[in-house]
Structure 1
Amino acid sequence: MNDSNGLGFYLPGALLLVAAALKAPALYRNPRDELLRSVVTLLVLATAVFGFTAIPTLVAVNRITGIPNAAAPVVFSLLTAFSGANIVLIFRWSSGPEDAERTRRRSRLCTVVTLAVIAAVNVLFALGDTPVERLRDLDTYYASTPYIREMILLYLAAHTTAAVTMTLLCRRWAREVHGPLRAGLTLIASGYVLNLLYDAAKFSAIGARWAGGDWDVLSAEVAPAFASVSALLVGTGFVLPLVSQHVTGQWDMWSRYVRLRPLSRELRAATRHSINLAGGPWTPIEIRLTQRESDIHDGILTVSPYLHAAVREQALRRELAAGRPADEAEAVADAAALARAVVLWGRARGGPEPAAPRAASPVLISPNTPSGLVRMSRALATSATVRSCRQAAAAEQGTPA
């Protein structure tokens, strides 16, 4: 799979780099978000693993440094760092606010151990001797070389330990969750099972060399294939729940924004735009929704002197008697009182009639929650009770409904 042009490694690496770039703006806005920082670090390290494992990159590193096989400790260090970053991310991902301090301690310990292994790998390489460049079979070619042998075994041992740890952590957590998070954890665990197969292939090839055999194909061909698929599964497993959460959140906000349109239209004339966040067609939905909800509350405040508890109570009794659930009945009653208040406010605004006295206490209940606003908006668009109150108010004032 690791062909001479490296496309089998560069292409998945590019996809992971794109995923990291997509998360970078969020990290720039929230630099102290430890979970987000861990995700971006993981994606960057995964990209580096793919990039530096490709044959053209190995050749380039060796040529630039002038040291045969200088790329080997670089690759081993990146693999070790990637494994450590996975464990740190799982620690931070699976812990709640009450476990923050313990998570920091475990993350620091994992980071220290990872850095120690990376340092040892590079020291052992510096102490050893690798005069012949080996791009595909360094593990087996130098399997009996002092210090290089220990370097290879150290990185494989660290990699195996991380794979076992991640597999157990992900499987245990996956039993407690559902949906995209469970799917993501299953992908990660599957990726680390392939990592274990990678380690098994490497150890088998090295053991065969010690015994005088030749199983180099396991190390040079089979193991890299396991590693490539594993990195994709692990990267996808981490990204999937985060992307799903983002998409779900965006969908929920757009849905609320659209469903609040009837209420926004009802209060359009009474809205004074206490804030103005709109910035054209490219305005994010978070800002659009905030603007709409602010305008709605501003409009309700404007017409509040014309809200009457008696109108609301009458509509509420009618809806409850008709068998409507309590929360929907309250939304219809609030919408009916609001529709009548808008008509009275419009009539007073256009004539000499003085404004009605402001209510001593809030009349409406639904605007206190986002879901209540949505139910109230739906009632304005669909309820016969609301239409009846609006028409009655218009008829009383002598204006068309």
Structure 2
Amino acid sequence: MLMSVTFWLIAVALGVGLCYKMPALLRASRNPMARQVAGLLAAGGAVFFFAAPSNIVRLNHLTGVPNFSAPWVYSLLTGFCASCLMLIVKWRGGTTESLRRTTWWVYGSYGALLVALWICFSLGDHHVVRTRDLDTYYATTPWMREMIVLYLLGHTVAVVITSALLWSWESRVRGTGWLRAGVVVLGVGYAANLGYDVTKLTPVIARWNGRTDLDWMSTTLAPPVAALVGLLIALGFILPHAGETASRRLAARREYWTLGPLARALRTVPAASSPVALSRFAPLQLRLTHRRTFVRDALRHLQPLIDTAQRDRDVQARIAAGVKPARAEALADAAAVSAAVERLQAGKTTVVDSASAGTVSDPITISRALRKLHTAPARQPRREGSVTTS
């Protein structure tokens, strides 16, 4: 029962990966890469779903054919192997002719393997139902033996080629962040697949030599290795999409939070008032767009009240006091904006010398400086046109 639950969970994980890819597939239904990924994830999920021991029993009972689930699961695994090879080939790219030739070679080879599996099954004696140890139990049975060897060799060849292509491709995606992380995880997953093949082939070969003491590798060790492989492959496909989405959301939340001090400082600017009221439960991107627009309109309204001459004197004073130039400019901009808000509240429409009116740096820099101004202790008396630091 535990193994069935584990395999169901892996199938669900692969299904989640498919759901992550589904929006891209719907947006670009003619994109062969999107279709390839979707097919691979669907095939992988089907393999783990039908390989669960409880589902093996149900399928055998439903069809009325002893061990029918064996060639069925092996067929799904064969399709999964072909999809893996084609996905990596298409990822790496190439000429149209070379891709077409490779496609025919892969699908032709694994299609022939698929037919051979069912022929061997139909010719073999498989009347004794085996739910967990079919590979070792029938390792010496004519035709069933060939079926088992064919699916394992087909899987091993696909894993070796896919692993080699992934690791050779890894060097080409360095510096791409989440994409590289996904490729590395996929590479580890497919490399671990070799461990699965070893745990399956070793006891089969041992059976050919009359040994049964290694059967535990197929019945006890192979299933958790397969589960680990499934998790890594699912994670490898989910990671680039989920990571990029999380990064974008984190960046949006950071910008929204960073603009907070400036937005609060400008809330009394009439032109910045917006008739649209957004709750804190509104989508983050919508709230960020609203805050950006609010800040931009307010700064534009304050432009005639910003004394850039005083701002430039403030910059020089801060630099003379030992503040780094970039930080001095940011603090001076924040002080200039605060002074402009005070002038607006006092009923002024322009600075005393209109020729000195102007703009300041970007809103995010100003907002960060405002936060520091509001939290810094007072060190000097307030000058005309500047903001207090208390």
Q: TM-score, normalised by structure 2?
A: 0.74
Q: Call closer, same or farther: CA 1:262–1:72 in 2, change over 3 Å.
A: same
C-alpha deviation, 1:220, in angstroms: 3.4
For 1:385 and 1:211, how far apart are their aligned partners in 2?
87
Change (3 A) 1:6 1:246: same
Quote the Cα distance in structure 2 between the aligned partners of 1:39 and 1:386. 61
Partner residue of 2:132?
A: 136
1:381 aligned onto 2:367: no
For residues 191 and 218 of structure 2, the distance between their equivalents in structure 1, rounded to whole angstroms, comes to: 17
Aligned-pair CA distance for 1:296: 0.8
Instruction: Indicate the larger mover: 186-195 or 26-35.
Output: 26-35
- Rate the CA distance shift 1:69–1:296 in 2: closer, same or farther, 3 A: same
**Deviation (angstroms), 1:108:** 7.4
Specify the SS of the correspondent of 1:283.
Answer: coil
Residue 291 of structure 1 corresponds to 290
For 2:69, the aligned partner's letter is A
Specify the alignment match of 1:122 in structure 2: 114
In the alignment, the residues of structure 2 paired with residue 103 and residue 280 of structure 1 have an alpha-carbon distance, to the nearest angstrom, of: 52
**Partner in structure 2 of residue 280 of structure 1:** 279
**Counterpart of 1:260 in structure 2: which amino acid?**
L
- C-alpha contact 1:12 1:50 (8 A) present in aligned 2: yes
Contact 2:266–2:298 at 8 Å: present in 1 too?
yes
Taking a change above 3 Å as real, the CA distance of residues 47 and 354 of structure 1, as seen in their structure-2 partners, is same
Deviation of the 1:384 alpha carbon: 7.7
Superposed counterparts of 1:165-204, under 5 Å? 165-168=161-164, 173=170, 176=174, 187-204=185-202
Alpha-carbon offset, residue 377 of structure 1? 4.2
* Contact kept? 2:60, 2:69, Cα under 8 Å: yes
Deviations 1:154-184 (A, max 9, x none): 4323322333344445556389569887776
The within-5 A match list for 1:235-254 is: 235-240=234-239, 243-254=242-253
Higher relative contact order (CA 8 A, sep 6+): 2
* Contact 1:52-1:75 within 8 A present in 2 as well: yes
Separation (CA, whole Å) in 1 of partners of 2:144 and 2:380:
83
Query: Identity of paired residues, percent?
Result: 32
Q: Which residue number corresponds to residue 398 of structure 1?
A: none
Q: What residue number does 1:230 align with?
A: 229
Residues 1:331 and 1:348: Cα distance change in structure 2 (over 3 Å):
same
Q: What is aligned with 1:218? A: 217
Q: Report the CA distance between 1:373 and its aligned residue.
A: 4.9
Partner of 2:157: 161
Unaligned runs of 5+ in 2: none
Q: 2:50 aligns with which of 52, 60, 73?
A: 52
Q: What residue identity is the alignment partner of 2:337?
A: L
Post-superposition CA distance 1:285-343 (Å, at most 9, x none): 22222221221111111111222321221122122222323322221222222222222
Equivalent in the alignment of 2:268 = 269
Tell me the residue number matched to 1:303: 302
Which residue identity lines up with residue 111 of structure 2 in the other structure? A
1:283 to 1:88, Cα distance in 2 relative to 1, 3 A:
farther
Distance 1:104 1:303, change over 3 A: farther
Tell me, yes or no, if the aligned pair for 1:331 and 1:366 is still in contact at 8 Å: no
Task: Go from structure 1 to structure 2 and tell me whether the alpha carbon gap of 1:282 and 1:312 turns closer, same or farther (over 3 Å shift).
Answer: same
Flag the 1:281–1:118 CA change in 2: closer, same or farther, 3 A.
farther
Contact 2:262–2:370 (CA under 8 A) maintained in structure 1: yes
- Taking the TM superposition and a 5 Å limit, the aligned residue runs for 1:320-359 are 320-348=319-347
Stretch deviating more after TM superposition (137-146 or 223-232):
137-146
Q: Is the 8 A contact 1:263 1:380 kept in 2?
A: no
- When structure 1 is superposed on structure 2, of 141-150 and 203-212 the one drifting more is 141-150
Question: Do the aligned partners of 1:49 and 1:79 also contact (CA within 8 Å) in 2?
Answer: yes
Shift, 1:35, TM fit:
7.9
Q: Which runs of 5+ in 1 are unaligned?
A: 396-400
What code does the residue aligned with 1:63 have? H
- The question of whether the paired residues in 2 share the 8 Å contact of 1:184 and 1:241 is answered with yes
Q: Structure 1 length as normaliser, TM-score?
A: 0.73
What is the Cα deviation at residue 240 of structure 1?
4.9
CA distance in 2, matches of 1:265, 1:72: 66
Q: Which amino acid aligns with 2:368?
A: R
Equivalent residues of 1:9, 1:54 under 8 A apart: yes
